[in-house]
Amino acid sequence: MVPGGRIQAVRQFNRFYTKVLGVLDEGLHQTPYTLTETRVLFELSQQENTEVTALRKDLNLDAGYLSRMLTRFEGDGLISRGKSTTDGRRQWAGLTDSGRKTMALLNERSNAQVHEMLDNLSEKDQSELVDAMTVIQHRLSAEPRDRTVVLRPPRPGDYGWVIERHCAIYAQEYGWGANYEALVARIVADYADNHDATSEAAWIAEIDGERMGSIFCVRVDDMTAKLRLLLVEPSARGIGLGGRLVDECLRFAKSTGYKTIELWTNSALTVARRIYADRGFTMVGSDQHPAFPTGQHNETWRMQLCD
């Protein structure tokens, strides 16, 4: 059951964003073509010729509506049409030179519109906006996601990114403030200054070349490792990235010879706590820490890696 308030919030967002994009105007980007017509032109621009039946199915358009649209495009000199050489019942459509010039103009004006919209925002606000849009796309898409994930060691600039993203994300989601930022900065600085590459490691998760997560494995003593700074960007959640990072940390700890691994987390991080529990961690202690608001508790979890 979806609460009525959420339904109204989605409808309000839809009304707002269609106004921002101007899709209710008579023509998109000061052209004679509507949003749907522009989308058809875009799809036709992706290859030399497109089968009309496939185009209709991909865009979920009524056959008669699409046929009238293509007839108009043909009359405007934007497309040419023909029949399949292997099946005379099938028709193809493709952009003419004039059609490609029109599509290039639409792309140019669309890019300029988005540039103007983003240019009014700070770098941080731009990043948050794009992340939120990515989350919407992924949550509502019925298509499976095929994204290239790479776990790599930190490079120059990554440590600062780890601090910034931990603090920005958790401030927004859980209200963690300057005390938490100072804590993360100390952890990262200590690792960057003093870590031993034979017994400690860190990983940055990239998806399609963009940083989307982190995790650190640090030494407590010869027998015990500590998992630290697990992070997954909001736009990368729901694809198993957090579990993959934890698994990589556990593999490293086992191969290095640690007998036990522990971690420090917070009672508010329900998804992370589930990942830890699924892999065999158990909570062994809980208390209040000044880095967290009242009611959110610091927790220590531990796991035996071998006997």
Q: What is the pLDDT of residues 205-240, one digit of tens each?
A: 999 888 999 999 999 999 999 999 999 998 888 889
The two beta strands, 224-232 and 260-266, are parallel
Q: Tell me the β-bridge partners of 228.
A: 216
Question: What pLDDT shows up at residue 217?
Answer: 97
Interval 126-158: pLDDT, tens: 877 877 887 787 777 766 555 678 999 999 999
Q: How far apart are CA 27 and CA 31, in angstroms?
A: 5
Q: How far apart are CA 100 and CA 94, in angstroms?
A: 10
pLDDT interval class at 252 (50, 70, 90)? very high
Residues of the chain with CATH 1.10.10.10: 4-120
> Is 149-304 assigned to CATH 3.40.630.30?
yes
Of the two residues 286 and 190, the one the predictor is more confident about is 190
Length of the chain equals 307
Element (H, E) at 218: strand 210-221
Q: Is the pLDDT of residue 25 over 60?
A: no
The C-alpha angle with vertex 131 and arms to 36 and 60, in degrees rounded to 5, equals 25
Question: What's this model's pTM, rounded to 2 decimal places?
Answer: 0.58
φ/ψ of 226, rounded to 5, equals -130, 130
Whole-angstrom CA distances from 51 to 35, 61, 72, 242 are 21, 14, 17, 41
Question: What pLDDT shows up at residue 127?
Answer: 76
Residues of the chain with CATH 3.40.630.30: 149-304
- CATH code of domain 4-120: 1.10.10.10
Sheet with 91-95, edge to edge strand ranges: 50-51, 91-95, 79-83
* Mean pLDDT, residues 261-286: 94
* Mean pLDDT, residues 14-39: 69
Interval 96-137: pLDDT, tens: 999 899 888 888 888 887 888 888 888 778 877 877 887 787
Structure tokens belonging to residue 62:
């009524």
Q: Is the pLDDT of residue 30 over 70?
A: no
Element (H, E) at 213: strand 210-221
pLDDT interval class at 21 (50, 70, 90)? low
